[in-house]
Amino acid sequence: MRALPKTITAAVVGFAVGAGAVSGGVYTFTQLRPAATTQANSSRTPSTSQYATVASTSTTLPLGPETISNVVKRVSPAIVKIVATVPQTSISSSPYFNPFFGSLFGQNIIPQQSQIQTDLGTGFFFNSQGDILTNDHVIHGADKIQVYVKGYSKPFTATRVGTDYATDLAIIKINAPKPMPTLTLGNSNNAQVGGWVIAIGNPYNLSDTVTVGVISAKGRPLTIGQRNYTNLLQTSAAINPGNSGGPLLNLAGQVVGINTAVSTQGQGIGFAIPTSTVDQILPQLMKYGKVSRPWIGVFITTDSRRLAQAYSLPTANGVVIAYVVPNSPAKAAGLAAGEVITAVNGKTVTTDTALEQIIQSQKVGGTVTLTINDQGRTIQKTITLAQEPNGPVSMPSAG
Beta carbons within 10 angstroms of residue 139's beta carbon: 25
| Full-model pTM | 0.77
Mean pLDDT of 102-130: 69
**272 and 383 fall within a common domain:** no
Q: Higher pLDDT residue, 216 or 319?
A: 216
Buried b (16+ CB within 10 A) or exposed e, 335-356: bebbbbbbbbeeeebbebebbb
Asked if the structure places residue 205 within a domain, the reply is yes
**End-to-end CA gap in the chain:** 19
The tally of domains found in the chain comes to 2
Model confidence over 343-368: pLDDT tens digits?
Answer: 999 898 888 888 888 888 889 999 99
**18 and 56 fall within a common domain:** no
Model confidence over 12-36: pLDDT tens digits?
Answer: 222 222 222 223 334 455 666 655 5
Q: Name the pLDDT band for 115 (thresholds 50, 70, 90).
A: low
Q: How many CA atoms lie within 13 A of 218 on its CB side?
A: 16
Asked if the structure places residue 386 within a domain, the reply is yes
Domain span including residue 287:
45-291
3-state helix, strand, coil in the chain (%, to 5): 15, 35, 50
**158 and 203 fall within a common domain:** yes
**107 and 149 fall within a common domain:** yes
**74 and 205 fall within a common domain:** yes
pLDDT at position 158 over 60: yes
Asked if the structure places residue 167 within a domain, the reply is yes
Residues 6+ apart with CB under 8 A from 152: none
Question: Could you say which of 244, 266, 291 is where a domain stops?
Answer: 291
pLDDT at position 59 is 59
d(CA 256, CA 221): 17
**85 and 14 fall within a common domain:** no
**66 and 176 fall within a common domain:** yes
**237 and 364 fall within a common domain:** no
pLDDT at position 225 is 76
Question: Could you say which of 264, 291, 318 is where a domain stops?
Answer: 291
Asked if the structure places residue 318 within a domain, the reply is yes
Asked if the structure places residue 145 within a domain, the reply is yes
**60 and 178 fall within a common domain:** yes
Asked if the structure places residue 40 within a domain, the reply is no
pLDDT at position 23 is 30
Model confidence over 258-305: pLDDT tens digits?
Answer: 999 887 777 788 999 999 999 999 999 999 999 988 989 888 876 666
Which CATH number characterizes residue 14's domain?
2.30.42.10
Q: Higher pLDDT residue, 321 or 25?
A: 321
Could you tell me if 224 and 32 are in contact, meaning their C-beta atoms sit under 8 angstroms apart? no
pLDDT at position 169 is 96
Asked if the structure places residue 62 within a domain, the reply is yes
**152 and 81 fall within a common domain:** yes
pLDDT at position 192 over 90: yes
Which CATH number characterizes residue 254's domain?
2.40.10.120
Could you tell me if 190 and 58 are in contact, meaning their C-beta atoms sit under 8 angstroms apart? yes
**244 and 276 fall within a common domain:** yes
Of 162, 196, 156, the residue nearest 180 (C-alpha): 156
pLDDT at position 168 over 80: yes
Asked if the structure places residue 85 within a domain, the reply is yes
pLDDT, the chain, mean = 79
pLDDT at position 267 is 79
Question: Could you say which of 273, 291, 309 is where a domain stops?
Answer: 291
**185 and 329 fall within a common domain:** no
Beta carbons within 10 angstroms of residue 169's beta carbon: 25
pLDDT at position 89 is 52
Q: Name the pLDDT band for 326 (thresholds 50, 70, 90).
A: very high
Catalytic annotation, residues: 137, 168, 244
